[in-house]
Amino acid sequence: MATIVGTSADDTLDGMAEGDRIWSLDGNDVVDGGAGDDFVDGGAGDDALTSSSGFDEFTGGEGNDRLSFIGVGGAARGGTGVDTLVGDYAAISDAFLFDGMHGHAAFGDLSVKGNHLYFLDIERLSLTTGIGDDRIIATGFSFVNVHTGAGDDRVETGIGDDQIYAGDGRDLLFGGGGDDFIRGGQGDDYVNGGNDDDTLEGEDGNDSLVGGRGNDRIDGGSGDDDVNGGDGNDSLTGGLGSDTVTGGAGDDYLSNSFAAGDILLGGDGNDTLSAGGEDTAYGGWSDLYGGAGDDRLHIYTDGSLGALDGGEGFDRASIALDDVPAGFILDASRFGSIEVFDITVKSAYRGVHLSGGNGNDRLFCFDTYREGPSGNDVLNGRNGDDILVGGSGADSLLGGDGNDSLSGEYHSDRLLGGAGADLLTGGSDADTFIWDEASVRNDRSVDRITDFRGGDGDVLLFRGFGGTEFRDFESFLAASRDTPEGVYVSFDGDAHGILIQNTLLADLSAADVLFA
């Protein structure tokens, strides 16, 4: 047995082969007890005391000390300051038991003194375990960092901003209070962040992740996961697999990244739900439920659509379609409780048919066709103040009720604004602008045509006006007059009619105005 005494400087001291008694005194000292059952007193200063053999007893003394035990038992007392207990038991294949509230840990044969670790006055914990089924109750610390190995582990931390990294196995992980980071690792894990703002990662396996209270960030990873944000404004991602993602209370953002039969439930609050991925054209389908609050639902798909339901509140849905099949039909009115739709077709195989809901919708066909000629699309805005934009085919745009904006873009399109003050743009080629007598009979608004070209193939088509005074080209001329903005056509001799912008009445002929 040797007695070793340091100085007031920063010392590096190593014990002998037998049980030593070491006082490092003042200074920021580094001490290794060596073989045997040693006693080490760090004294004042920020000391690093290490035990890798025998059953050592450490006292940190004053200062912020680091007391490390590598694969062995022992006893540690931190003293004053913010002290850290480091336990490296990665090489231990037995179950590791850690009880932070009572200052005791044990592994292997509990009848062996060297398999027990006792500690007192410790503020911070850094712990690594091996492949056994570990039970770690690491409450009572201001900070915890835990790495577990393979095995079915249970880890609980306290009120600090803690970190848990689990390995293989079916783990139960609880963050408690504080802004925690928890990673489940491989296996089917249960992860609960507890209160405050947590970051949870499921990684591999069919995991269940719960954020609890606070503004949490949760990523399910691969596998069929159940993700629940709980209270707070959460950011939730299902990841790969068929996931169920629930926002709970608060203004949440829900995403599955890769559409694969997921269910997204917003819950209370003004939520944003996003399914699919712009770089994943063939994603499958997802079900999105906004719940209470003013929600935004976003989905990217090749045409496979599940359920969309905004729930209570003023809700909006954005649907981006890519590589949709020929003859694809989307009727937004089949979706529940959504006030506004924004539907875009990026590419398709021939024509598509899009119908909005009863709100102020936007329908776009930016259709780059994969094979054959351009598709002839049908866009139907229904009620509301809608925006409809055609694509590269000969499209039909139906505004419905409301003050709509219709743009045909390329080729010979057919535009019917319906009731309301509509803005009509045919685009290139010869377009047909249509009015039905039934839709304008009780209307008191003015439609505008921005690009009518008389004599170049554009046509004004009036349907069902045969029983009125407005029934042929002569009556059309009688109802029309030049204005500084263009030709104004009145249906009732007053403020109900059409303004054909940048056009003179003399430029129009009977070939430009048709009745049916």
Query: Whole-angstrom distance between the N-terminal and C-terminal Cα of the chain?
Result: 114
Rounded average pLDDT over 17-30:
94
Above 70 in pLDDT, residue 279?
Answer: no
- Band (pLDDT 50/70/90 cuts) for residue 182 is very high
pLDDT for res 440: 82
Q: How many CA atoms lie within 13 A of 20 on its CB side?
A: 23
Residue 238 CA to residue 217 CA, distance in Å, equals 11
For residues 125-154, give the mean pLDDT.
97
For the beta carbon of residue 9, count every other beta carbon within 10 angstroms.
11
Burial label for 102, CB within 10 Å (0-12, 13-18, 19+), is: exposed
Could you give the C-alpha distances from 330 to 303, 361, 377, 381, in angstroms and in order? Answer: 9, 13, 11, 12
CB atoms within 10 A of CB 6: 22
Higher pLDDT, 74 or 278: 74
Q: Which of 66, 82, 73, 81 is nearest to 52 (CA)?
A: 73
Mean pLDDT of the chain: 88
Q: Which residues, at least 6 apart from 353, have a Cβ–Cβ distance to it below 8 Å?
A: 327, 328, 329, 330, 377, 378, 380
pLDDT higher than 50, residue 283: no
The model's confidence at residue 366, banded by pLDDT at 50, 70 and 90, is low
Would you state the pLDDT for residue 476? 95
The pLDDT tens digits for 488-502 are 999 877 778 999 999
Three-state DSSP class for 442? coil
Residue 173 has which token pair?
Answer: 């992980």
Q: Is the pLDDT of residue 389 over 80?
A: yes
Residue 454 to residue 482: CA distance in whole angstroms: 14
Query: Is residue 332 scored above 90 in pLDDT?
Result: no
151 Cβ partners below 8 Å, 6+ apart?
95, 130, 131, 132, 133, 134, 167, 168, 169
With cut-offs at 50, 70 and 90, classify the pLDDT of residue 446.
very high
**Distance between CA 414 and CA 459 in Å, rounded?**
10
**Residue 350 pLDDT > 70, yes or no?**
no
**pLDDT over 60 at 346, yes or no:** yes
pLDDT of 273 reads: 82
Q: Which whole number is the average pLDDT over 141-164? A: 97
Q: Which residues have a Cβ under 8 Å from the Cβ of 300 and sit 6 or more positions away?
A: 259, 274, 275, 276, 277, 278, 280, 283, 320, 322
Least confident of 79-83, 96-100, 163-167, 376-380: 376-380
Taking residues 286-309, report their average pLDDT.
73
pLDDT, residue 375, reads 62
Helix %, strand %, coil % of the chain (to 5): 5, 40, 55
What are the Cα distances from residue 393, in Å, to 200, 202, 408, 504?
Answer: 48, 46, 9, 29
Tell me what pLDDT residue 239 has. 87
Question: How buried is 109 (Cβ within 10 angstroms: 0-12 exposed, 13-18 middle, 19+ buried)?
Answer: exposed
The answer, yes or no, to whether residue 125 has pLDDT greater than 70, is yes
Query: What is the tens place of the pLDDT at every residue in 198-256?
Result: 999 999 999 999 999 999 999 999 999 999 999 999 999 998 888 999 998 899 998 87
Q: Tokens 């509230």 belong to which residue?
A: 101
Q: What is residue 335's DSSP assignment?
A: S
Compare 296 and 511 and report the one with higher pLDDT. 511
- Residue 118, judged by CB atoms within 10 A of its CB (0-12, 13-18, 19+), counts as middle
Q: What is the pLDDT of residue 166?
A: 98
DSSP annotation of 330: E
Nearest-angstrom CA–CA distance, 232 and 486: 56
Greater confidence (277 vs 17) lies with 17
Contact 402, 359 (CB under 8 A): no
Which pLDDT score, from 0 to 100, does residue 377 have?
80
Look at residue 370 in the predicted model and tell me its pLDDT.
38
Comparing 179-193, 254-268, 312-326, 367-381, the range with the smallest average pLDDT is: 367-381
- pLDDT at residue 470, as a whole number: 86
pLDDT, position 304: 63
Residue 349 in this model has a pLDDT that exceeds 60 = no
pLDDT at 133: 97
The yes-or-no verdict on residue 427 having pLDDT over 80 is: yes
Give per-residue pLDDT as tens, 452-490: 998 889 999 999 998 778 889 999 999 999 999 999 999
pLDDT category at 374 given cuts 50, 70, 90 is low
- Residue 281 is predicted with a pLDDT of 27
Mean pLDDT for the stretch of residues 169-175? 97
- CA separation for the pair 430, 427 (Å, rounded): 8
165-169, 211-215, 433-437, 492-496: segment of lowest average pLDDT: 492-496
Reading the block at residue 252, the tokens are 């949440």
Which residue's structure tokens are 């139906």? 398
pLDDT in tens, 189-208: 999 999 999 999 999 999 99
Rounded CA-CA distance 260/238 in Å is: 10
Note the pLDDT of residue 371: 40
What amino acid occupies position 303?
G
User: In the prediction, which pLDDT does 276 show?
Assistant: 61
Given this model, what pLDDT does residue 278 score? 36
Hey, CA dihedral for 358, 488, 504, 466, is it positive or negative? positive
What is the Cα–Cα distance from 277 to 140, expressed in whole angstroms?
Answer: 43
Tokens of 400: 């419905």
- Answer for the pair 354, 341: CB distance below 8 angstroms, yes or no: no
